[in-house]
Amino acid sequence: MKTEGRMKHCFSSVFALLLTLHCSAQANTVSTGGECMGAGGSASYTVGQIDYTAIDVAAGSAYLGVQQPYELFSLSTVDENSAFSLLLGPNPTAGELTLIASTALPLNSYYVVFDDAGKTLLTQPILNESSSIALNSFATGNYYLHVISDEKTLNTFKIIKTQ
């Protein structure tokens, strides 16, 4: 009988422990936040929140949560001592990206956009120090852009495509 009572007590303790581990006080872990107040109203903000909800009406729109996180994902660089650097933005994007080189790239340079499965979706030559990359028709998700010259990958960027 004592063994059965101990088993029930042990089971109850484990169940209570697991129940408390599942409960959480907030939906997101954020790095910081605060409130702003002015003559026109007030707003609160958080830094590090990754979710948002959009509300659009005829009088205007509101984005609850993070509206435009700005991230640079340069996944690789072949030669860090090269004479140029590459920037890609805005990232995340809903439509068009701009690829900027600090100096002109070799004439045979081009970029390739891949999806998560490694399928090539877009290949275009880089003709100027600034190139526009249209992703309007792409589905929401993660993509990878490789900048290639002389059959060597100069840089790889991760792209986040939003709606």
- Full-model pTM: 0.54
In CATH terms, the fold of domain 74-161 is Immunoglobulin-like (2.60.40)
116: pLDDT strictly greater than 50: yes
* Domain parsing of the chain, residue ranges: 32-65, 74-161
The strands making up 74-77's β-sheet, listed across from edge to edge, are: 74-77, 152-161, 141-149, 110-115, 120-125
Q: What pLDDT does 28 receive?
A: 55
Q: What pLDDT does 26 receive?
A: 47
Whether the Cβ atoms of residue 78 and residue 148 lie closer than 8 Å to each other: no
90: pLDDT strictly greater than 80: yes
